[in-house]
Amino acid sequence: MRILLTGGLGFIGHHFARMFQPDHHIMILDAMTYAARHANLSEFNGALAIGNVEDARFVRGILRAFEPDWVVHMAAETHVARSLEPDREVFLRTNVIGTDVLLNEALEYWKAKGRFTAFRFLQVSTDEVYGSLAPHDPPASELTRYSPNNPYAASKAAGDHLVQAYWHTWGLPSIVTHSSNNYGTGQHPEKLIPRIIKQCLLGQPMTIHGDGLNVRDWLHVEDNCRGLMAALERGFIGGTYNFGGNCERTNRQIANYVWANCFGRGPERNMVEYTPDRPGNDRRYALNSTKALIGLKWQPGLAIEHRIGEVVQWHLNNPSYEDEYDTACTV
């Protein structure tokens, strides 16, 4: 298959391209923002188009020239803390307007190609659109009502709704996926796990928002990518699929595990520093993946405790990887 992958130089995107480019012809469309890691280019031997999904003429030209069978839409602003800043309009431009532009151009391309049945538009979304769960709530399913609680989540929810609207209104063959918190090698240093690993390497306290008891459901990025491909190959058009790790851990548990088991250190003592919580920080996320298990024959792999060691080792082998991004983390 010919796959147009937006945001392919980001964390999830480059893992997806690396895993599936031997069997598929992949073209990456990336705006090369601060979240794009330059070194990911060395691991990719397909075509690259540098541009923005908000540029309709640019997107139109790429679709016509490349003629993809599938469009996998990962391009997004993703960091919650950045979405709380005064200049957060970029979240609306990329996650909402950009998604609408891409959908519209994909629709016109699909119609011009005779509405060929192989075409798929895959919207890669997040568990955060469901909002915060109480401690004893069941994990969110595909039928759970959207309840985004921060600008990032709201912008992704708007993009998801646009995808569904294009499917219901014009029949654009599309699928939406939600994954829980991804982790793995090469993740931007603004995210929790790479940040605390770096702090451990430098002998600094690991910084955690609030009391450290916020719960996240951890999923290895490669497991998510397997789910995305399964959705493309076997998913129902117009459907939604959740990919959860079945691995709920508090941020404090993650920090303590990294400190004690990956670096061989003793009790945390003063190695965790609790910083003021960010506004509206959701208490708990978790996803029910039963639909993906039954319909796509997908399930998550090993729990985070079995794979985080390889992430730590990657950081040890790549001490200067932050320099491979456009901008160092300031949030």
Tell me the catalytic residues. Answer: 127-128, 152
Phi first, then psi: give them for residue 305, nearest 5 degrees. Answer: -60, -25
- Cβ neighbours for 167, distance < 8 A, ≥ 6 positions apart: 173, 174, 237, 238
User: Beta-carbon neighbour count of residue 242 at 10 Å?
Assistant: 26
Residue 326 near residue 279, CB atoms below 8 Å: no
Sign of CA dihedral 57, 27, 110, 120: negative
C-alpha span between 181 and 154 (Å, rounded): 17
- Cβ burial of 306 (10 Å; 0-12, 13-18, 19+) is exposed
- Cβ neighbours for 217, distance < 8 A, ≥ 6 positions apart: 127, 139, 180, 181, 244, 245, 246, 247, 248, 285, 286, 287
Query: Rounded to whole angstroms, what are the CA distances from 279 to 176, 184, 208?
Result: 28, 27, 14
